[in-house]
Amino acid sequence: MEHISKRFPGVLALDSVQFDLFKGEVHVLLGENGAGKSTLMKILSGAYEKDEGNIFIDEHKTEINGPSHAQELGIGIIYQEFNLNPYLSVAENIFLGREPTILPGIIDWKKIYRDAQELLDSLNVDIDSKQIVETLGVAMKQMVEVAKALSLNARILIMDEPTASLSNNEIEALFKTIKKLQTEGVAIIYISHRLEEIFRIGDRVTVLRDGRYINTKPVSDLTKDEMVKMMVDRDLDNHIPKVKADIGDVVLEVENISVKDRLHDISFKLRKGEILGIAGLMGAGRTRLAKTLFGAERIVSGKITVDGIEVRMNSPRDSINAGIGLVTEDRKNEGLILDLSVKQNVCLPNMSKFITNGWINSGKENQAVDQYIDKLNIKTPTRNQLAIFLSGGNQQKVVLSKWLCSDAKIFIFDEPTRGIDVGAKTEIYQLMNQLVAKGVAIIMISSEMPEILGMSDRILIMRNGRIAGELSDSEASQEEIMNYALGEAYEAVL
Amino acid sequence: MKNITTHQFSALLLITLLVFTSFSCYKEEFPGRPTVALVVKTLNNPFFNDMQTGAEEMARELEINLIVQAAEREVDVEQQVQIVENLIQRRVDAIMLTPSGSREVVPVIASANRNNIPIINLDTRVDADLLASDNAFVSTFIGSDNYEGGLIAGRYVGEQLNGVGKVAILEGIPGHETADSRQQGFLSGIGEYPGIEIVTSQTANWERNMGYTVFQNILQSFNDVQAVFAASDLMALGAVEAIASSGRDPDDIIVVGFDAHVEAVDAIRRGVMHATIAQNPYEIGRAGVEYAYKVLNGEDIPNNINVEIKLITRDNVDE
Amino acid sequence: MKQFFNNQNLDQIRQFGTFFGLIALCLLFTILSPYFFTTSNLLNVAQQSSIIAVISVGMTFVIITAGIDLSVGSVLAFSGVVMASVLHAGLPIPIGIIVGLGVGFSCGLLNGLLVSYGKIPPFIATLGMMSIARGAGLWFTDGRPISGFDDSFRYLATGEIFYIPVPVIIMIVVYVIAHLILTKTKMGRYTYAIGGNEKAAVLSGINIKLYLNIIYGIAGLLSALGAVMLTARLNSAQPIAGIMYELDAIAATVIGGTSLFGGKGTVIGTLIGALIIGVLRNGLNLLGVSSFIQQIVIGSVIIGAILLDTNLKMKKN
């Protein structure tokens, strides 16, 4: 691809970018959010039309006319947001549009389920090809996407943050599959923020920044810091800038909380100024715990006490009034209202603050929002920009602002930096530091080891809806966490 | 590419609409001559189509312009009122009106009076009391005596049943003068036969399908009913179809309608229906235009013009 | 300049486009008919559009929450006949009107409860209410209209204040209040939030159930207000009034730019939509176009409006 440019209303997403790919290589595409990686790949996979530039496949100049044309050319893409039909089965999703038929128009159900199951098994994933996609969790859905792309026999496979929701086991399986595909001559374009992974499987890496091409180098020629520097042009010597704060009194006490079938007898204490990390594998119940503490799940038994006063959690409003804020795992569907503006989203849980004599006081709202745009460095043209237009990192900052605005004293972060570029990640960690310095207490659910180890003062590990173990700052290590999470001895792979 | 096509399509749609509209605009046949308007309850009913034909032919003979309008649905009085209001805006010379609501049109008639546009009331009477209390008036009423028609139908049924039996009634839209008068007339007629019992009286809103479903239900609940009077032929035809699909012998149940709809007359000929009352919508239409013209010429006209009613049965159906 | 194309402005362009469409239509009819552009006819059109316009406000609120209300016509009829019977019983006019509005609000509230607590899809819940209210009205009056009211009541339809017909004034007042609520109150903000993303709204601490109930209640209330206006206009309350009014209300709302998917829309747009429908009917009547063709034209305009909306939606993505 050369001199590729793409314009959107008001924004130059790609400015004369170049990219090349060899057969059988894993070529990592690296860059901050908004750097243009997704846009470039959407052009290659036919979802967008380029405004300028040329694409050569097998040295033939090619025009890609749409997603199906791209598929015909052997280009497959696995999006970070899934492209699945939740009401159909896994097999139907994998073979959508290409179903094997007995007669024209009549699907060969036996074959479709069998073929799909083979694909799933080859990925070491425990899914029944007959399962309806809606019932699967985030990680499983992604595996279906991987299976779908594989079924297309792509020669070029684009993977956009494929491991974001995968457990370590699943990542291993994925890497195995990638290696296998490489030997078959498939070229893989791998978009990821996880530097450790890049070093493991990447052959070359191309860095984009602000829609421009920066450089392409073999992975072996680079160190972590050098890679990061290319991405953000600043030195990040310590990626996890934890600043320990004074730990005060107990602000939250959770006693024997149970949720029907899902959480059993959860108890712990949280102190002011503390960051409590919660680790665990997919399905351990961490998000459910977060939702329960926020009043979004029905508590069967147990007690929650904030600042010594028992709180009856019947709805999120109770939780918000008690001073709890939840930064959800899925910010697009649960954290933000995309049709509303930055300002409207930030002020939404706190409207009573901005009402004067029954009317919304725009002045107060604007003041509040501008404060957060400034403090958190939210990149948006105006405060009235609709949330849907912000990049992932900035969207997360808007969600944070919501709770800052509500003066929450307890923040629950569920995967706070997933899908966010390094620069914004650091900003969020620094924000957490500022919060705890002021006496806020933080519960941080995370699947990223460096993050959990780096930021937490204490770590709870969950497994099967219970607290499996607790580690203090000094005791904690990746092996220890994994031990508790798996419930058996864990052998280091990394 | 998709966006351009949709835009082109929208533009095409708009242009088609414009052209269509311009072509379907009303064009005056006789420029310089008076323009009268006929507003009927609905154009979906041959009764009113016949009325339209009568009016059109008289208009052509008199060399005056005629506009014919109706609301989308017979039940939508408000839309009919809006049509009359718009015709007033358009300064037509006279309006002939078959009201979709005998009481609801009074305010707009008052408005027409204020604008010096004569109103000729056709077929269904406007409520006289409400007219009076609003100080409004119509130039004349032209129609059949619905009461008389009902009376004749009632006597016919009484006779046919030899004075004894069970009868059902399918009513028109309640509150419509036509519906009320026909029903009152029928009840009077049938009242002369004390051995006759009215098992049920329900409305089918002048509609054929409703006549079908309502009568089907009546057959279920009163399966010994021997006769049905429907205040209009469309409802009667619905009842006929209900009888047919129930498998009962058409001769078991006497069906009497009203309006002398072409299909009803045919049904009588075929023996699945028994009688209907012939108004004469064509005549009403003709007379409407004729008398409107007279009013415009300043002539005095009677305030009630009766168009004759006839009972049509198997015996005289071929006349 | 680049900021001009952010989403907010696309919405404003869309609204401006609808307004432009209204102007274009008026221009068209002015050219084609000498009777269109007169003061009396324009007031005529405004008056004719007023009842649907008022009902459409309630519909707009409901549609912004990604719901729909098919019962507005039936609720109009039912509340109208109840009010009429109260007036005929000799009770003072304000009492009658309050009772009517109360009936409307209650029906709407029932819709809201079905949707919020019963978790019944709005389409189904209001479809049921459509039938129930219609039946209730017919049963209440035995199918007959209730007619003949005091002049002081009819003033609501026939009166004029500074030469503007009272129904038009009522319409304007309703729109001003609705606009203020939607843009400047907590409830308005919450309405958009619920329609934009119900899950996220819950997680922002909004009491969805409460607000849905209020919003559907408002729709019922405004249907009842429509009944007051219609009864005064026709001097009669019919149990068969309002049939298919919900379609006109939905049409006005959609033409005005409110998305059926929720989260977007304005009442000003709905007003323009209602006026577009009113102008179309009036203009086509004046031109003597047959009512069958009128139906075709109005249906095409609705489709055209939706096409533009989908088109703009695609541009946004």
DSSP per residue over C193-240, as a string?
Answer: HHHH-HHHHHHTT--HHHHHHHHHHHHHHHHHHHHHHHHHHHTEE-TT
Condensed to tens digits (0 to 9), the pLDDT of residues A133-142 reads 888 877 777 7
Same domain, B244 and B184: yes
Closest partner residue to C8 (CB to CB) among A320, A321, A384 is A384
Domain boundary among A202, A232, A262: A232
- Name the E strands within A193-349: 204-209, 212-218, 250-259, 263-271, 275-280, 301-306, 309-310, 324-327
Could you give the percent of chain B with pLDDT greater than 90?
A: 64
Q: Write A367-371 long-range contacts (CB < 8 A, 24+).
A: A368/A405, A369/A342, A369/A343, A369/A401
Q: Minimum mean pLDDT among B53-62, B276-285, C86-95: which range?
A: B276-285
Residue among C183, A384, C194 at smallest CA distance from A398: A384
Same domain, B45 and B70: yes
Tell me the mean pLDDT in the region B143-164: 91
- CATH no. for residue A126? 3.40.50.300
Q: What is the pLDDT of residue C188?
A: 94
Condensed to tens digits (0 to 9), the pLDDT of residues C162-190 reads 989 999 999 999 999 999 999 999 999 99
Distance CA C10, CA C316 (A): 8
Q: In this structure, is residue A161 part of a structural domain?
A: yes
State which residue of chain C sits closest to B204, comparing Cα positions: C143
**Of B51 and A72, the one with more pLDDT:** B51
Q: What is the pLDDT of residue C266?
A: 92
Closest partner residue to B78 (CB to CB) among C234, C282, C293 is C234
Same domain, A193 and A258: no
Condensed to tens digits (0 to 9), the pLDDT of residues C33-53 reads 889 999 989 999 999 999 999
Question: Whole-angstrom distance between the N-terminal and C-terminal Cα of chain C?
Answer: 20
C205 to chain A, minimum CA–CA distance in Å?
Answer: 4
Same domain, B137 and B210: no
Helix, strand, coil % in chain B, rounded to nearest 5: 50, 20, 35
Condensed to tens digits (0 to 9), the pLDDT of residues A172-228 reads 877 887 887 788 788 899 987 677 788 888 899 998 877 888 889 998 888 876 776
Same domain, A265 and A379: yes
Number of domains in chain B: 2
This prediction has a pTM of 0.76
Same domain, A298 and A196: no
Same domain, B290 and B261: no
Q: In this structure, is residue A492 part of a structural domain?
A: no
Q: Is C196 in the A-facing interface, judged by CB distances under 8 Å?
A: yes
Q: By residue range, what is the domain housing residue A36? A: 2-232
B6 to chain C, minimum CA–CA distance in Å?
Answer: 7
Q: What is the pLDDT of residue A32?
A: 63
Could you give the percent of chain A with pLDDT greater than 70?
A: 90
Q: What is the pLDDT of residue A222?
A: 85
Same domain, B295 and B234: no
Q: What is the pLDDT of residue C136?
A: 95
- C209 has pLDDT over 70: yes
Tell me the mean pLDDT in the region A312-319: 90
Same domain, A75 and A200: yes
Q: What is the pLDDT of residue C2?
A: 42
State which residue of chain C sits closest to A295, comparing Cα positions: C203
**Of A80 and A79, the one with more pLDDT:** A79
Same domain, A146 and A295: no
Summary mean pLDDT of chain B: 89
Same domain, A394 and A421: yes
- A438 has pLDDT over 60: yes
Quick check: C205 and A333 CB within 8 A?
Answer: no
Residue written as token pair 């249906």: C299
Same domain, B285 and B139: yes
Tell me the mean pLDDT in the region C4-33: 75
Summary mean pLDDT of chain C: 89
Chain A partners (3+ C-beta pairs within 8 A):
C
Q: By residue range, what is the domain housing residue B201? A: 146-278
Chain C residues with CB under 8 Å of B26 CB are 287-289
Distance CA B84, CA B119 (A): 10
Q: Which of C2, C4, C6 to mutate to test the interface with A (most CBs of A within 10 A)?
A: C6
Chain C residues with CB under 8 Å of A338 CB are 196-197
Same domain, A303 and A228: no
CATH T-level topology, domain C43-316: ABC transporter involved in vitamin B12 uptake, BtuC (1.10.3470)
- CATH no. for residue B89? 3.40.50.2300
**Of A485 and B153, the one with more pLDDT:** B153
Quick check: B90 and C35 CB within 8 A?
Answer: yes
β-bridge mates for residue A54, sequence order: A2
Same domain, B187 and B232: yes
Q: Which amino acid is at A246?
A: D
Same domain, A127 and A259: no
Q: In this structure, is residue B23 part of a structural domain?
A: no
- B10 has pLDDT over 60: yes
Question: So what's the ipTM on this one?
Answer: 0.84
Distance CA C134, CA C71 (A): 9
Same domain, B53 and B121: yes
- B218 has pLDDT over 50: yes
β-bridge mates for residue A250, sequence order: A271
